[in-house]
Amino acid sequence: MRTTVGIIGAGPAGLLLARLLHNAGIDSVVLESRDRAYVEHRQRAGILEQGTVDVLREAGAGERMDREGLPHDGIELRFDRRRHRVDFPALTGGRSVMVYAQTEVCKDLIALQLKEGGPLLFEAEALAVEGADTDSPRVRFRHEGREDVLECDYVVGCDGFWGVARKAVPAELAQVFARTYPFGWLGILADVPPSHDELVYARHDRGFALLSMRSPFVSRLYLQVPEGTDAQDWSDEEIWDELERRFETDDDWRLERGPITQKSVTPMRSFVHEPMRHGRLFLAGDAAHIVPPTGAKGLNLAVGDVVTFARALIEFRATGDATGLDSYSETCLRRVWQAERFSYAMTTMLHRAPDATPFDDRIQLARLDRITTARSAETDLAEGYTGFPLD
């Protein structure tokens, strides 16, 4: 089997890349180790930056998003029993975000790929990327019980942190930067309308809490918990009680309870692999970088990566100018590190470390107070949250 671009991974990044290439007349093959049902139902991110929304629309994948997604013009910060709304459009010149689950993005892109695009092979396990530093890289994979080889001009690894793509970069050429946080997020899905019409980020002495949503009828909420927590150790009633404590305010706002349909614990870490390119192998998304979910950056960074690659390849094929391809890693990493900075700042401002001192608590409150009283600080948060430009 041969193609121009071999894409490993049918998450939102790999699927969007296939769509962008298809629209530009460039053929690709997508290899996905899981089955279609798994890809379309695995719960991940739910916040799309302005740039991601724009790209999906331009790619012809925004119709259902615009119909069913929830546009959000701000978030609410809670601390010290106070509430403060950050107005995104007023601070960013009109930028906002969209609440639309990653599962739905994948469904939309899969439908388009199967209808109009190149091959999308589910249950096709990539085994190795070979010849990345040659003009003819290839992906060895297993599909329907047989091993096969996908010969490519380029390989893009969108196969996540545990995938095979990053392993093809020689260790002596790589640098890894990482941080593990001593807490995680206990996340729930609940069949109850959201208790607020925008996301609520709460800093509390007992730990962080986040009120989010998946639809007008389904709430998504999170609690900071110690690293290594088992979600099943928390009863439904204990979860709701703790959420109420951490969201408490001095007004009459109330948290609505409902049946919890899913519980899970997400670890918190930061990770960056440099470089993001080796020869004709390009890393994208979690294969190259991970951010803690506080800043809602993971999916959006992956989109930025594949947009950068697609634009560079299109330019090269049209003009012969390989500058964009050659500078792929440098271009992406500038945006990645800004997102890492933003996510780290949000995480350390809102989560209480296990060894936090009264001094640490006051610093957190001072940082939050600064955002509520200084337009420059509030603007920095709004610009970071709605997303750094893709160009």
Query: What CATH number did the domain enclosing 232 receive?
Result: 3.30.9.10
- Catalytic choice (194, 293, 328, 351): 293
The pLDDT of residue 170 is above 90: yes
* pLDDT reported for residue 388: 83
- Same structural domain, 262 and 279: no
pLDDT tens digit sequence for 128-160: 999 999 999 999 999 999 999 999 999 999 999
Determine the Cα–Cα distance for residues 63 and 258; give it in Å rounded to an integer.
31
Residue 380 counted as domain residue: yes
Is residue 281 domain-shared with residue 264, that is, in the same domain? no
Asked about 222 being catalytic, the answer comes back as: no
On whether both 255 and 120 belong to a single domain, the answer is no
Q: For position 35, which CATH number holds?
A: 3.50.50.60
Q: Is 39 part of any domain?
A: yes
* Distance in angstroms (rounded) separating the CA atoms of residues 388 and 303: 12
Residues 6-44: b if buried by 16+ CB within 10 A, e if exposed: bbbbbbbbbbbbbbbbbbeebebbbbbbbebeebeeeeb
The answer to whether residues 22 and 114 belong to one domain is yes
Say if residue 249 is in the same domain as residue 378: yes
Query: Is 115 considered catalytic here?
Result: no
Structural domain includes residue 319: yes
Q: Where are the alpha helices (DSSP H) in the chain?
A: 12-23, 36-41, 50-58, 63-68, 88-92, 102-116, 236-246, 298-319, 323-326, 328-350, 358-373, 375-386
196, 204, 297, 351: which one is catalytic?
Answer: 297
| Residues 104 and 129 grouped into a single domain | yes
Q: Are 105 and 248 members of one domain?
A: no
* Catalytic pick among 154, 181, 222, 385: 385
Residue 87 lies in a domain: no
Q: Is 273 a catalytic residue?
A: no
pLDDT tens track for 202-220: 999 999 999 999 889 999 9
What does DSSP say about strands 260-274 and 281-283: parallel, antiparallel, or unpaired?
unpaired
Classify burial at 389, counting beta carbons within 10 Å of its beta carbon; exposed 0-12, middle 13-18, buried 19 or more.
exposed
Say if residue 140 is in the same domain as residue 262. no
User: One of 201, 222, 278, 289 is an active-site residue; which one?
Assistant: 201
* Catalytic residue flag (residue 259): no
Domain of 228 in residue numbering reads as 181-268+354-386
Residues 187 and 50 in one domain: no
Beta bridge partner(s), residue 142: 125, 147
100 is catalytic: no
- Which of 22, 72, 289, 351 is an active site residue? 72
Q: CA 222 to CA 191: how far, in whole Å?
A: 15
Q: What percent of the chain has pLDDT over 70?
A: 99
Quick one: 122 and 197 in the same domain? no
pLDDT digits (tens, 9 = 90+) for 6-47: 999 999 999 999 999 999 999 999 999 999 999 998 777 789
Picking from 181, 211, 175, the residue whose alpha carbon sits closest to that of residue 196 is 211
At 44 the pLDDT is 72
pTM: 0.95
Whether 34 is covered by a domain: the verdict is yes
On whether residue 215 sits in a domain, the answer given is yes
- Please tell me the distance from the alpha carbon of residue 88 to that of residue 214, in angstroms, as a whole number: 20
